[in-house]
Amino acid sequence: MKAFFPVQCSDTLLRIALLVKLARLQQGVRQVDLAERLGISLRTFRRIEAGSADGVSLRDFMLVVWGLGVSERLFQGLRDDESFSVEQLEAADRKRVRLPRSKPEDF
């Protein structure tokens, strides 16, 4: 049984896949050549270009969008958002969510 995957996420992956494919075709690069250049398997590249998230690491995904020069288009909103900063990320990395402890009187 496959895990739940929201339709909006699936649609977004398909849009990214189309962007990746169009960028590759415009650059006249074969799948096998790009995969080799980026150091990922051809199978992984084909999954990304097909819009499949199964078995694709975030690292490999980022290599592909960077290697094709589409990362700016995809992530410009994150870069422009002033509510995100390296300092905030580092501070958030130190925070943990803890479950409330049950007290004896709770029973």
Domains of the chain plus CATH, in order, are: 7-95 (1.10.260.40)
Count of CA atoms in the C-beta half-sphere (13 A) of 95:
7
The pLDDT of residue 76: 86
Single out the residue of 2, 11, 105, 22 nearest to residue 70, CA to CA. Answer: 22
| C-alpha–C-alpha distance, residues 100 and 5, integer Å | 29
Q: Which two tokens stand for residue 92?
A: 């958030």
Query: pLDDT tens across 51-80, in order?
Result: 998 889 999 999 999 999 999 999 888 777
* pLDDT surpassing 80 at residue 88: no
pTM summary value: 0.75
The pLDDT of residue 1: 59
Residue 48, C-beta contacts closer than 8 angstroms, at least 6 positions apart: 17, 20, 56, 60, 61, 64
